[in-house]
Structure 1
């Protein structure tokens, strides 16, 4: 603990950075201007670095102080998150769920109303992660990821199998029919930088052997590719049943629904040592029910 600055000084420092002056910080914390000044001085002596400088009639944070405040603020938020997770136990009615962005938008969120209807008063807070942010880091109570982690830091519950298949907007196929695989060369293939192998996996599963070069258009994230798909700009390889609702309502069709890649499995992951609350257990059970996978991989 000797390498951690005094917590009262950090609290005063964050308030002064947030409020922009000692006086405003003193009012926020219900202490005197002098108390804030002394705490800031203590922190500056501990760091060996000036954090505030005079700007007219007030003391304003330096750029160095503002950068330090961002990191200290994030650390305090993590402490607060941990205290809530480990302190409230079964009394908590909020569950923070981290999920891949496309999966959250196209599969999880459209189904959440069912969970809330069954469990009034329980709140699911969805935090989305892009492919570049998919590591199991951050503050959450439960994470949804494709594939079971290889470390012992999480307990895993399988709940959904996903595969890739060809998808397209009905308007595109009305303009440019796709009756056989040989018609692929007449279309533009929409690719995603964060999913570089998806098209090749599907082409291999379909047994397609190209005789010429297929036209391609690449986007950075799948949710951008999805938008291009809906607009009829080309063909895509999409995850099912993640896009099942889009097929049901007619936004997308599956020209060759039986041609698909081997399944990949989704898991709900709970950090080791976290005591599962009532809402946590009910949400896990609900995921299994929605995914129709059961307890085979528990």
Structure 2
């Protein structure tokens, strides 16, 4: 049986002891709205804790965070890569306290390789001038990311307590491991109590270890909370609109662990073990 508390601390340590600046790619086995709410509130909580946060919307098929926040209508990192505009022109600061930028992968097969190379370089520039970079990602039908660095970043899979979500999360982890090789992945359980999250995590951890030889680490949990939906309708983060809500407490605790681990990470330039 996995040690949930240890793995949760270890998972956060792995995430924040990696190369500076930190890049965390989030994938989800939950509905798009759940993923968007989690990213917005996590970004807001980190920003309120004093972190410089940029969320990169790398979704093409999914309902990404830039679309959710209404900042997806302008130019993207791909336009910067093609030298059609400047980087500062595609970064939007949202009221929740963090910055958002769309990536926009190309669909032109002939230009794809060149565009991918340029896009990767542009992303590198963005990363170097940022603190924490959160990528709202998707693993497409060809089992690939828009740029290679997403596959080398910390990858966290969001899952809920439903059987469908757990099954889809496991399938996603299997695809990731087949494409990226043996490496750890983080698990964030949302819409769950700590006890429910522990059960989900323990079961997924055991299955991944036994059948895939893959190590999973816990990134914590966020409870189901009606105040998340109320805050979203107000266009605000729950930690700002309803600071005493259960979800607000969970996001503050998660952001606090991020900040604590960030301080301990110091000048580390490699992934933790």
TM-score normalized with structure 1 length? 0.24
Q: Which has the higher strand share?
A: 1
Larger radius of gyration: 1
Greater RCO (Cα-Cα under 8 Å, separation 6 or more): 2
